[in-house]
Amino acid sequence: MTILKAENISKQYRLGLVGTGTLKHDVNRFWHRIRGKEDPYSKVGAVNDRSTQAKEEYVWALRDINFEVQQGEVLGIIGKNGAGKSTLLKILSRVTGPTTGSIKTKGRIASLLEVGTGFHPELTGRENIYLNGAILGMTKAEIAAKEDEIIDFSGCAMYIDTPVKRYSSGMRVRLGFAVAAFLEPDILVVDEVLAVGDAEFQKKAIDKMKAISTGEGRTVLFVSHNMASIQNLCTRVMLLNNGMVDIIGNTEDVINHYLHKYRNEEVSQDLASRKDRKGNGKLKFLDYWIETVDGKKVNAMQTGGHFNMIIKVNNVSDFSLNNVRISVGIDDDQARRITVLGNDLTNELIELSNRQIDLIKILIPKVPFQAGNYHFTLFASEGEDVLDWVMNAGSFEVEHGDFFNTGRTIQQNQGNILVHHEFH
Partner 1 sequence: MSAKTNNDWLYEITPHKKLISLNLKEIWRYRDLLILFVKRDIVTVYKQTVLGPLWYFIQPLFTSVIFTLVFNNVAGVSTGGVPSFLFNLAGITAWNYFKACFTGTSNIFRGNAGIFGKVYFPRAIMPLSITISNLLKFGIQLLIFIGFYLYFVFLGHDVSPNAYLMLMPVYVVMMALMGLGMGMTISAVTTKYRDLTVLVGFATSLLMYISAVPFPLSKAVEQLPKYAWAFEYNPITQIIEGFRFMTLDYGTFTWGGFIYALVFSVSIFLIGLVIFNRTEKNFIDTV
Residues that bind partner 1 (CB under 8 A): 1-2, 13, 18, 22-23, 26, 90-109, 111, 113-114, 117-118, 120, 122-123, 130-131, 134-140, 163
Q: Give the span between the Cα atoms of 63 and 84, in whole angstroms.
A: 9
CA nearest 344: which of 317, 308, 383? 383
Q: What would the DSSP string read from start to end of 46-65?
A: EE--TTS---SSEEEEEEEE
Q: Yes or no: say if 219 and 76 are a contact pair by the CB < 8 Å rule.
A: no
Cβ of residue 168: shortest distance to partner 1, in angstroms? 19
Cβ of residue 190: shortest distance to partner 1, in angstroms? 13
Q: Give the span between the Cα atoms of 190 and 223, in whole angstroms.
A: 6
> Angle, to 10 degrees, between the axis of helix 125-135 and the axis of helix 140-154?
130
Burial class of residue 31 in the structure, from the number of CB atoms within 10 Å of its CB (0-12 exposed, 13-18 middle, 19+ buried) = exposed
Which of 3/238 has CB closer to partner 1? 3
Which of 1/34 has CB closer to partner 1? 1
Which of 103/175 has CB closer to partner 1? 103
CA distances from 108 to 4, 40, 94, 211 (A): 10, 35, 11, 19
Cβ of residue 35: shortest distance to partner 1, in angstroms? 17
Cβ of residue 366: shortest distance to partner 1, in angstroms? 55
CA distances from 397 to 205, 372, 415 (A): 39, 6, 16
Q: Give the span between the Cα atoms of 17 and 19, in whole angstroms.
A: 6
Which residue type is seen at 40? P
Which of 83/143 has CB closer to partner 1? 143
Which of 93/343 has CB closer to partner 1? 93
Which of 6/387 has CB closer to partner 1? 6
111 C-beta neighbours (distance < 10 Å), count: 23
Cβ of residue 78: shortest distance to partner 1, in angstroms? 22
Which of 28/280 has CB closer to partner 1? 28
Cβ of residue 71: shortest distance to partner 1, in angstroms? 11
Cβ of residue 114: shortest distance to partner 1, in angstroms? 5
For the CA atoms of 262, 263, 264, 266, what is the dihedral angle to 10 degrees? 90
